[in-house]
Chains A and B, each alone.
Chain A
Amino acid sequence: AVQMTQSPSSLSASVGDRVTITCRASQYIRNDLGWYQQKPGKAPKVLIFAASSLQSGVPSRFSGSGSGTDFTLTISTLQPEDLATYYCLQDYSYPWTFGQGTRVEIK
């Protein structure tokens, strides 16, 4: 199974900051990666698919990049409502696998 290593596990940033989360795959996964946001007590919500495509309705401050094994989720200007845990998910091969998650806190 493809292992997804996500970092950092948590971060604290101020409103307006630029935030970067990374995910590394244990093997080549093309650009078959999505990013999901999970707010406390809620189901996850897709932000980015195919590594860099913004899901409809998601604010443009969210962006994704990368291919092969290294991927990045960037929040260009952190907002208070971005308090959440973020997960990468590879859909290149079964079993699909999530990263361990990054908890984003607001200072």
Chain B
Amino acid sequence: QVQLVESGGGVVQPGRSLRLSCAASGFAFNSDAMHWVRQAPGKGLEWVAFISYDGSNKYYADSVKGRFTVSRDDSKNTLYLQMNSLRPEDTAMYYCARQTGNFILDYWGQGTLVTVSS
């Protein structure tokens, strides 16, 4: 069965960096585009980033552009989100999600919590 497991969250000071990972299993990871979505505590969902199945296309929310980088390692079936220059407003649960051919986010991980605080 399809599984997505995020890791790498934690407490980090403003201005510092953190790298999130999303380990995928149960499907052909190298055939599917992937997304990151976040949710600040008690708030709504915010789309963060996209990477195409082959890594050739990447898109970002304006709020993270220039600070976050999405990447993938198909040999490890793992998606990454490198987060630099972190701000308190980046505090959120971060989810990875798989995109199907119908542009559906059909499988989601359980999320990893990032807290940016001094």
B106 and A55 within 8 A (CB): yes
Q: Does A97 sit at the interface, judged by CB under 8 A?
A: yes
Chain A interfacial positions (CB closer than 8 Å to B): 1, 32, 34, 36, 38, 43-46, 49-50, 53, 55, 85, 87, 89, 91, 94-101
Residues of B whose CB lies within 8 Å of any CB of A are 35, 37, 44-47, 50, 59-62, 95, 102-106, 108-111
Q: Name the 8 nearest CB pairs between A and B, nearest first.
A: A43-B108, A94-B59, A91-B103, A101-B44, A96-B47, A49-B104, A98-B45, A95-B61
Give chain A residues whose Cβ lies under 8 Å from the Cβ of B111: 43
Once A43-B111, A46-B104, A94-B50 are accepted as A-B contacts, the answer to whether A36 and B62 lie under 8 Å apart by CB is no
CB contacts (< 8 Å) of A44 on chain B: these are: 37, 45, 95, 105, 108
Most buried by B among A1, A46, A94, A96: A96
Q: How far is the CB of B23 from chain A (nearest CB, A)?
A: 15
Q: How far is the CB of A89 from chain B (nearest CB, A)?
A: 7
Query: What residues on A are CB-neighbors of B102 within 8 Å?
Result: 49-50, 53
